[in-house]
Amino acid sequence: MLRFLCAAIAAALLILPHGVMALDGAKPSADWRTIASQQGGLIFVMRHTDKAAHGAVRSRHHPAGFDGATCMLERGLTVEGERRALAVGRDFADRSPEIGFASTASSTLCRTAHTAFLAANKIAPVTAYKIKNGAPYEEIDESEIKTAAQFRSDISKMAISAGASKKNVMVAIHSNWIEALFDEEADVRAKVGTSGAEPWPADQCYGEVRIYKPVGDSWVQIGRHTEHATYANGRECLKS
């Protein structure tokens, strides 16, 4: 019985180039951009764009509740980081039909909230999550796995709701949050509910976007957008 179950699970997922997976029966040639613009219900996860070494520029583009003295004291986006986040948003908006977003999610820090807001074309409200004072996943143990799994579940519900209007969800978070959601260990990803995704270990490039489809209690990775990805220390980032 166990052998049959494992074979069924393996057959249900087709491995595509670059580790991207698709559900059995889906057309391998189906582009994530087409799915996002015509069907919606997808989850766009990105690391925030370039952050300042100290303080931040006074952003002209910000969601409600993320402006003023607090953001100026944080390590917020640089001018270049703001430009890159805006460019990501333009890439999605310039499609016909455009890739729309019904909601966004970030941490309570301004650099993630600003990135999510700009990448979603400044139209979707930001839901800010505060998990263990902004550093939820220093090491992966059972409590962190449960926290990551709950976050994944919450975002899945947002995506299902967004899909009703053919829109999607934008999630801009930190390196350690991403690492917890997409751990290098397959058994950890299975517990979190991201077994259908590639590992995404730290230190991720700023502005890299990966796209997921919620399927049951898990996420399946169907694409990536790295046109505006960069790394502040000059490391080369893969473009696709």
Position 5 in a domain: no
Position 235 in a domain: no
Position 49 in a domain: yes
- 167: pLDDT strictly greater than 70: yes
Q: What is the pLDDT of residues 181-208, one digit of tens each?
A: 999 999 999 999 999 999 998 888 888 9
Percent of the chain with pLDDT over 70: 71
- For 116, the token pair is 């999510």
Position 8 in a domain: no
Position 220 in a domain: yes
Name the residue range of residue 44's domain.
Answer: 24-225
Position 233 in a domain: no
Alpha carbons 100 and 78: distance in angstroms, whole number:
25
- 29: pLDDT strictly greater than 50: no
Position 3 in a domain: no
Alpha carbons 52 and 171: distance in angstroms, whole number:
20
Tell me how crowded residue 27 is: count the other CB atoms within 10 A of its CB. Answer: 8
Question: How many domains does the structure of the chain reveal?
Answer: 1
